[in-house]
């Protein structure tokens, strides 16, 4: 009986994992309205190279890559989770002011090439490779490796 139960659990886990990795290409118009607005407001003149909808077990997210090499990841409601660049910098208006002020004061002459926000942490990567971490109130809490 125990072997049957374990086999059943493994089968369910396998099916769930197979269905969890469900990425599909989408058009710009298929993105949440908030994501479309962010791109239109902050990346004028740039075009979408590709966009995809990523469906995990319990979550939906979106990834957009612009022709300029900028990659933006959005959560279900269209708020950005990560913005990274290859050949440019993250637009200043997308960086929270306290983080921007901290960088200007402590790391002048460096630009942001990546910004990521998770539940309670903002992580910022600068042009020299340094990664700074901030809490949800934008207080500097340290460096990341």
Question: Over the stretch 39-93, which tens digit does the pLDDT of each residue have?
Answer: 999 999 899 999 999 998 889 999 999 999 999 999 999 999 999 998 899 999 9
Contact status, residue 63 vs residue 71, Cβ threshold 8 Å: yes
Which of 65, 105, 108 minimizes the C-alpha distance to 88?
65
Strand partners, 72: 64, 83
pLDDT band with cut points at 50, 70 and 90 for residue 119: confident
Which of 134, 135, 122, 95 minimizes the C-alpha distance to 111?
95
Using alpha carbons only, what angle is made at residue 136 by residues 131 and 138, rounded to the nearest 5 degrees?
A: 60
- Domains, the chain: 21-87 (3.40.1420.30), 89-145 (3.40.1420.30)
Terminal Cα-to-Cα distance of the chain (whole angstroms): 48
């Amino acid at each position: 009986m125990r072997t049957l139960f374990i086999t059943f659990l493994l089968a369910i886990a396998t099916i769930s994992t197979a269905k969890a990795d469900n990425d599909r290409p989408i058009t710009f118009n298929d993105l949440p309205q908030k994501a479309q607005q962010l791109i239109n407001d902050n990346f004028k003149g740039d075009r979408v190279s590709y966009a995809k909808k990523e469906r995990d077990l319990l979550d939906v997210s979106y990834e957009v890559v612009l022709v300029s090499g900028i990659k933006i990841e959005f959560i279900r409601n269209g708020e950005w989770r990560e913005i990274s660049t290859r050949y440019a910098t993250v637009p200043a208006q997308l960086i929270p002011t306290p983080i921007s002020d901290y960088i200007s004061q402590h790391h002048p002459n460096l630009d942001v090439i990546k910004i990521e926000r998770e539940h309670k942490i903002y992580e910022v990567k600068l042009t020299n490779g340094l990664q700074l971490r901030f809490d949800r109130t934008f207080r500097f809490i340290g460096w990341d490796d």
